[in-house]
Amino acid sequence: MISPYAKEYVNVFTVDVEDWFHILDTQGAPDFADWENQENRIEKGVNRLLELLNKYSVKATMFWLGWAAERNKGLLKQCYEAGHEIASHGYAHLLAYKSGPDVFLKDIHKSKMLLEDIISSNVDGFRAAGFSIKGDTEWVFEKIAEAGYLYDSSVFPAERGHGGNPNSNLEPYIIETGHGRLLEIPQSVVGILGRRMSFFGGGYLRISPGWLINRGIRKLHAEKRPLVLYVHPREVDPEHPRLKMSAKRRFKSYVNLKSTYPKLEMLFQRHEFITFREMIEIRGQGDCRVQNMCIPEKRSYPKR
Protein backbone atom coordinates (compact mmCIF):
# COMPACT_ATOMS: atom_id res chain seq x y z
CA MET A 1 0.00 0.00 0.00
CA ILE A 2 1.30 3.46 -0.91
CA SER A 3 1.89 5.55 2.19
CA PRO A 4 0.19 8.98 2.42
CA TYR A 5 3.54 10.83 2.39
CA ALA A 6 4.33 9.47 -1.08
CA LYS A 7 2.01 11.99 -2.73
CA GLU A 8 4.16 14.83 -1.39
CA TYR A 9 6.84 13.92 -3.91
CA VAL A 10 7.12 13.50 -7.65
CA ASN A 11 8.43 10.18 -8.99
CA VAL A 12 8.57 9.22 -12.67
CA PHE A 13 8.97 5.68 -13.97
CA THR A 14 10.49 5.43 -17.45
CA VAL A 15 11.22 2.57 -19.84
CA ASP A 16 13.80 2.70 -22.62
CA VAL A 17 12.06 0.38 -25.08
CA GLU A 18 14.77 -1.40 -27.02
CA ASP A 19 15.73 -5.04 -27.57
CA TRP A 20 18.25 -7.34 -25.87
CA PHE A 21 20.94 -6.71 -28.51
CA HIS A 22 20.80 -2.90 -28.29
CA ILE A 23 23.72 -2.72 -25.87
CA LEU A 24 26.13 0.09 -26.68
CA ASP A 25 29.87 0.10 -27.30
CA THR A 26 30.55 -3.62 -27.31
CA GLN A 27 32.02 -5.62 -30.21
CA GLY A 28 29.58 -8.43 -29.50
CA ALA A 29 26.55 -6.33 -30.49
CA PRO A 30 25.27 -6.82 -34.05
CA ASP A 31 25.64 -4.05 -36.62
CA PHE A 32 22.53 -2.07 -37.55
CA ALA A 33 22.25 -3.96 -40.85
CA ASP A 34 22.04 -7.24 -38.91
CA TRP A 35 19.37 -6.20 -36.42
CA GLU A 36 16.66 -7.73 -38.60
CA ASN A 37 18.21 -11.17 -38.13
CA GLN A 38 18.08 -11.12 -34.32
CA GLU A 39 15.41 -12.68 -32.15
CA ASN A 40 12.70 -10.15 -31.24
CA ARG A 41 12.25 -10.22 -27.44
CA ILE A 42 10.69 -6.78 -26.87
CA GLU A 43 7.13 -8.07 -26.67
CA LYS A 44 7.93 -10.45 -23.82
CA GLY A 45 9.65 -7.80 -21.69
CA VAL A 46 7.16 -5.02 -22.43
CA ASN A 47 4.14 -7.22 -21.72
CA ARG A 48 5.63 -8.24 -18.38
CA LEU A 49 6.14 -4.58 -17.52
CA LEU A 50 2.61 -3.70 -18.63
CA GLU A 51 1.18 -6.37 -16.34
CA LEU A 52 3.18 -5.04 -13.39
CA LEU A 53 2.26 -1.43 -14.13
CA ASN A 54 -1.41 -2.34 -14.39
CA LYS A 55 -1.26 -4.25 -11.08
CA TYR A 56 -0.11 -1.13 -9.24
CA SER A 57 -1.96 1.46 -11.37
CA VAL A 58 1.33 3.04 -12.47
CA LYS A 59 1.62 5.06 -15.66
CA ALA A 60 5.06 5.18 -17.29
CA THR A 61 6.87 7.35 -19.81
CA MET A 62 8.09 4.93 -22.46
CA PHE A 63 11.01 6.07 -24.61
CA TRP A 64 10.55 3.94 -27.72
CA LEU A 65 13.38 3.27 -30.13
CA GLY A 66 11.98 4.11 -33.56
CA TRP A 67 13.45 1.00 -35.20
CA ALA A 68 11.70 -1.17 -32.61
CA ALA A 69 8.42 0.75 -32.90
CA GLU A 70 8.41 0.27 -36.66
CA ARG A 71 8.47 -3.50 -36.12
CA ASN A 72 6.14 -3.64 -33.11
CA LYS A 73 3.40 -1.17 -34.01
CA GLY A 74 0.67 -3.15 -32.27
CA LEU A 75 2.66 -3.28 -29.04
CA LEU A 76 3.37 0.45 -29.20
CA LYS A 77 -0.35 1.17 -29.65
CA GLN A 78 -1.10 -1.17 -26.74
CA CYS A 79 1.20 0.87 -24.50
CA TYR A 80 -0.36 4.14 -25.63
CA GLU A 81 -3.93 2.89 -25.23
CA ALA A 82 -3.09 1.70 -21.70
CA GLY A 83 -2.43 5.35 -20.80
CA HIS A 84 1.36 5.37 -20.86
CA GLU A 85 3.19 8.37 -22.30
CA ILE A 86 5.05 7.64 -25.54
CA ALA A 87 8.36 9.44 -25.98
CA SER A 88 11.33 8.99 -28.33
CA HIS A 89 14.63 7.15 -27.86
CA GLY A 90 15.81 8.06 -31.36
CA TYR A 91 15.57 5.73 -34.34
CA ALA A 92 18.86 3.81 -34.61
CA HIS A 93 20.17 4.00 -31.01
CA LEU A 94 22.94 6.44 -31.85
CA LEU A 95 25.39 7.75 -29.29
CA ALA A 96 24.93 11.52 -29.59
CA TYR A 97 28.60 12.39 -29.12
CA LYS A 98 29.61 9.96 -31.90
CA SER A 99 26.96 10.79 -34.50
CA GLY A 100 27.48 14.52 -35.12
CA PRO A 101 24.77 17.23 -35.38
CA ASP A 102 23.35 16.48 -38.85
CA VAL A 103 23.08 12.71 -38.46
CA PHE A 104 21.70 13.10 -34.94
CA LEU A 105 18.98 15.55 -36.02
CA LYS A 106 17.92 13.32 -38.91
CA ASP A 107 17.69 10.31 -36.61
CA ILE A 108 15.63 11.93 -33.85
CA HIS A 109 13.35 13.71 -36.33
CA LYS A 110 12.66 10.40 -38.08
CA SER A 111 11.81 8.74 -34.78
CA LYS A 112 9.44 11.51 -33.74
CA MET A 113 7.51 11.43 -36.99
CA LEU A 114 7.30 7.64 -36.95
CA LEU A 115 5.99 7.43 -33.39
CA GLU A 116 3.46 10.21 -33.95
CA ASP A 117 2.17 8.54 -37.10
CA ILE A 118 1.63 5.24 -35.27
CA ILE A 119 -0.16 6.62 -32.20
CA SER A 120 -1.75 9.66 -33.91
CA SER A 121 -0.62 11.94 -31.08
CA ASN A 122 2.21 14.35 -30.27
CA VAL A 123 5.47 12.99 -28.93
CA ASP A 124 6.98 15.66 -26.68
CA GLY A 125 9.86 13.90 -24.91
CA PHE A 126 13.26 12.56 -25.93
CA ARG A 127 16.06 10.55 -24.33
CA ALA A 128 19.37 9.88 -26.08
CA ALA A 129 20.78 6.36 -26.20
CA GLY A 130 23.08 5.75 -23.24
CA PHE A 131 22.41 9.25 -21.79
CA SER A 132 25.07 10.23 -24.33
CA ILE A 133 25.34 13.97 -23.77
CA LYS A 134 28.75 15.14 -22.58
CA GLY A 135 29.96 18.57 -21.57
CA ASP A 136 31.37 19.18 -25.05
CA THR A 137 28.25 18.05 -26.95
CA GLU A 138 25.73 20.64 -25.81
CA TRP A 139 24.85 21.24 -29.48
CA VAL A 140 22.58 18.25 -28.87
CA PHE A 141 20.04 20.45 -27.07
CA GLU A 142 19.72 22.71 -30.11
CA LYS A 143 18.99 19.69 -32.30
CA ILE A 144 16.48 18.21 -29.87
CA ALA A 145 14.59 21.52 -29.81
CA GLU A 146 14.89 21.87 -33.59
CA ALA A 147 13.25 18.46 -34.02
CA GLY A 148 10.24 19.78 -32.07
CA TYR A 149 10.61 18.10 -28.69
CA LEU A 150 9.46 20.02 -25.61
CA TYR A 151 11.55 18.22 -23.02
CA ASP A 152 14.63 16.05 -22.80
CA SER A 153 15.84 13.46 -20.28
CA SER A 154 19.30 12.65 -21.68
CA VAL A 155 21.57 14.22 -19.07
CA PHE A 156 23.25 11.91 -16.57
CA PRO A 157 24.80 14.38 -14.09
CA ALA A 158 27.63 12.11 -12.90
CA GLU A 159 30.51 10.04 -14.25
CA ARG A 160 29.34 7.35 -16.66
CA GLY A 161 30.68 5.03 -19.34
CA HIS A 162 28.45 6.53 -22.06
CA GLY A 163 28.22 10.28 -21.83
CA GLY A 164 27.73 11.61 -18.34
CA ASN A 165 28.39 15.17 -17.20
CA PRO A 166 29.32 15.45 -13.51
CA ASN A 167 29.05 19.26 -13.67
CA SER A 168 25.42 19.36 -14.82
CA ASN A 169 22.52 20.63 -12.75
CA LEU A 170 20.84 18.02 -10.59
CA GLU A 171 17.34 19.47 -10.76
CA PRO A 172 15.14 20.05 -13.84
CA TYR A 173 15.98 23.26 -15.68
CA ILE A 174 15.15 25.25 -18.81
CA ILE A 175 17.60 25.50 -21.72
CA GLU A 176 17.19 28.46 -24.06
CA THR A 177 17.86 27.38 -27.66
CA GLY A 178 17.58 28.98 -31.06
CA HIS A 179 14.44 26.88 -31.59
CA GLY A 180 12.63 27.67 -28.36
CA ARG A 181 12.85 26.66 -24.74
CA LEU A 182 13.71 23.06 -23.88
CA LEU A 183 13.01 21.55 -20.47
CA GLU A 184 15.83 19.27 -19.29
CA ILE A 185 14.93 16.62 -16.69
CA PRO A 186 18.18 14.89 -15.66
CA GLN A 187 18.52 11.34 -14.48
CA SER A 188 18.41 11.14 -10.68
CA VAL A 189 21.69 11.01 -8.78
CA VAL A 190 22.50 11.75 -5.15
CA GLY A 191 25.62 12.87 -3.34
CA ILE A 192 27.19 10.15 -1.20
CA LEU A 193 30.51 10.90 0.54
CA GLY A 194 31.21 13.73 -1.89
CA ARG A 195 30.48 11.68 -5.01
CA ARG A 196 27.44 11.75 -7.26
CA MET A 197 25.88 8.30 -7.49
CA SER A 198 22.81 6.63 -8.99
CA PHE A 199 20.84 3.67 -7.68
CA PHE A 200 17.83 4.29 -9.87
CA GLY A 201 17.98 2.41 -13.15
CA GLY A 202 19.64 -0.20 -15.32
CA GLY A 203 22.72 -1.79 -13.79
CA TYR A 204 22.69 0.74 -10.93
CA LEU A 205 19.28 -0.54 -9.83
CA ARG A 206 20.26 -4.19 -10.26
CA ILE A 207 23.50 -3.89 -8.29
CA SER A 208 22.14 -1.75 -5.44
CA PRO A 209 20.43 -3.38 -2.45
CA GLY A 210 16.89 -2.29 -1.66
CA TRP A 211 17.85 -0.39 1.51
CA LEU A 212 20.35 1.73 -0.43
CA ILE A 213 17.85 2.49 -3.19
CA ASN A 214 15.31 3.64 -0.61
CA ARG A 215 17.92 5.72 1.22
CA GLY A 216 18.75 7.44 -2.06
CA ILE A 217 15.07 8.16 -2.71
CA ARG A 218 14.66 9.70 0.73
CA LYS A 219 17.63 11.96 0.03
CA LEU A 220 16.16 13.03 -3.32
CA HIS A 221 12.84 13.83 -1.71
CA ALA A 222 14.50 15.78 1.10
CA GLU A 223 16.11 17.94 -1.58
CA LYS A 224 12.73 18.30 -3.37
CA ARG A 225 14.04 16.65 -6.51
CA PRO A 226 12.05 14.12 -8.54
CA LEU A 227 12.97 10.46 -8.66
CA VAL A 228 13.52 9.45 -12.29
CA LEU A 229 13.63 5.66 -12.46
CA TYR A 230 14.46 3.77 -15.67
CA VAL A 231 14.65 0.17 -16.91
CA HIS A 232 14.85 -1.71 -20.21
CA PRO A 233 12.48 -4.55 -21.21
CA ARG A 234 15.40 -7.01 -21.29
CA GLU A 235 15.92 -6.40 -17.56
CA VAL A 236 12.61 -8.09 -16.72
CA ASP A 237 13.32 -10.89 -19.22
CA PRO A 238 16.25 -12.68 -17.52
CA GLU A 239 16.24 -15.52 -20.06
CA HIS A 240 17.07 -13.27 -23.01
CA PRO A 241 20.13 -14.20 -25.14
CA ARG A 242 23.56 -12.94 -24.12
CA LEU A 243 26.04 -11.00 -26.24
CA LYS A 244 29.73 -11.85 -26.27
CA MET A 245 31.61 -9.17 -24.34
CA SER A 246 34.36 -8.58 -21.80
CA ALA A 247 33.91 -9.83 -18.24
CA LYS A 248 33.51 -6.23 -17.00
CA ARG A 249 30.81 -5.39 -19.53
CA ARG A 250 29.12 -8.73 -18.96
CA PHE A 251 28.90 -7.95 -15.26
CA LYS A 252 27.43 -4.51 -15.92
CA SER A 253 24.93 -5.82 -18.47
CA TYR A 254 23.74 -9.04 -16.85
CA VAL A 255 24.36 -9.00 -13.10
CA ASN A 256 21.27 -9.49 -10.92
CA LEU A 257 18.78 -9.51 -13.81
CA LYS A 258 16.35 -11.50 -11.70
CA SER A 259 16.32 -8.72 -9.10
CA THR A 260 14.81 -6.07 -11.38
CA TYR A 261 11.19 -7.20 -11.26
CA PRO A 262 10.95 -7.61 -7.45
CA LYS A 263 12.74 -4.29 -6.90
CA LEU A 264 10.24 -2.54 -9.18
CA GLU A 265 7.40 -4.21 -7.31
CA MET A 266 8.85 -3.02 -4.00
CA LEU A 267 9.14 0.55 -5.32
CA PHE A 268 5.61 0.56 -6.77
CA GLN A 269 4.28 -0.60 -3.41
CA ARG A 270 6.05 2.22 -1.55
CA HIS A 271 5.83 5.16 -3.93
CA GLU A 272 3.46 6.83 -6.35
CA PHE A 273 4.69 7.27 -9.93
CA ILE A 274 3.48 9.52 -12.73
CA THR A 275 4.63 10.32 -16.26
CA PHE A 276 6.91 13.17 -17.31
CA ARG A 277 3.95 14.82 -19.02
CA GLU A 278 1.96 14.71 -15.78
CA MET A 279 4.94 16.05 -13.83
CA ILE A 280 5.17 19.04 -16.18
CA GLU A 281 1.44 19.66 -15.87
CA ILE A 282 1.66 19.56 -12.07
CA ARG A 283 4.38 22.20 -12.10
CA GLY A 284 2.39 24.29 -14.54
CA GLN A 285 -0.42 24.40 -11.99
CA GLY A 286 1.89 26.04 -9.45
CA ASP A 287 2.67 22.89 -7.46
CA CYS A 288 5.95 23.29 -5.52
CA ARG A 289 6.96 19.64 -5.32
CA VAL A 290 9.69 20.13 -7.94
CA GLN A 291 12.04 23.08 -7.63
CA ASN A 292 13.20 25.39 -10.43
CA MET A 293 10.93 23.99 -13.10
CA CYS A 294 8.50 25.53 -15.58
CA ILE A 295 6.86 24.55 -18.84
CA PRO A 296 8.41 25.43 -22.20
CA GLU A 297 6.20 27.27 -24.64
CA LYS A 298 4.17 24.84 -26.75
CA ARG A 299 5.41 24.60 -30.30
CA SER A 300 4.64 22.41 -33.26
CA TYR A 301 7.00 19.68 -34.47
CA PRO A 302 8.67 20.00 -37.92
CA LYS A 303 6.32 19.37 -40.82
CA ARG A 304 6.51 16.00 -42.52
pLDDT values of the chain reduced to their tens digit, one per residue, 304 residues = 343 334 557 899 999 999 998 998 788 899 999 999 999 999 999 999 999 999 999 999 999 999 999 999 999 999 999 999 999 999 999 999 899 999 999 999 999 999 999 999 999 999 999 999 888 888 999 999 999 999 999 999 998 877 788 889 998 899 999 999 999 999 999 998 889 999 999 999 999 999 999 999 999 999 988 899 999 999 999 999 998 988 888 888 899 999 999 999 999 999 999 999 998 887 655 444 444 454 454 444 343 3
* CB contact set of 2 (below 8 Å; sequence gap of 6+): 269, 270, 271, 272
| SS3 track for the chain | CCCHHHHHCCEEEEEEECCCCCCCCCCCCCCHHHHHHCCCCHHHHHHHHHHHHHHCCCCCEEEECHHHHHHCHHHHHHHHHCCCEEEECCCCCCCHHHHCHHHHHHHHHHHHHHHHHHHCCCCCEECCHHHCCCCCCCHHHHHHHHCCCCEECCCCCCCCCCCCCCCCCCCCEEEEEECEEEEECCCCCEEECCEEECCCEHHHHHHCCHHHHHHHHHHHHHCCCCEEEEECHHHHCCCCCCCCCCHHHHHHHHCCHHHHHHHHHHHHHHCCCECHHHHHHHHHCCCCCCCCCCCCCCCCCCCC
Residue-range domains of the chain with CATH: 4-23+40-284 (3.20.20.370)
* CB contact set of 65 (below 8 Å; sequence gap of 6+): 16, 17, 18, 19, 22, 89, 90, 91, 93, 111
CA distance 98 to 236: 29
Alpha carbon of 270 to those of 84, 267, 273: distances in Å? Answer: 20, 5, 10
Put residue 186 in one of left, alpha, beta given phi > 0 → left and psi -120 to 50 → alpha.
Answer: beta
The reported pLDDT for the residue numbered 287 is: 44
- Is the separation of the CB atoms in 17 and 63 below 8 Å? yes
CA distance 170 to 155: 9
The reported pLDDT for the residue numbered 82 is: 98
CA distance 261 to 3: 21
How much is the pTM? Answer: 0.91
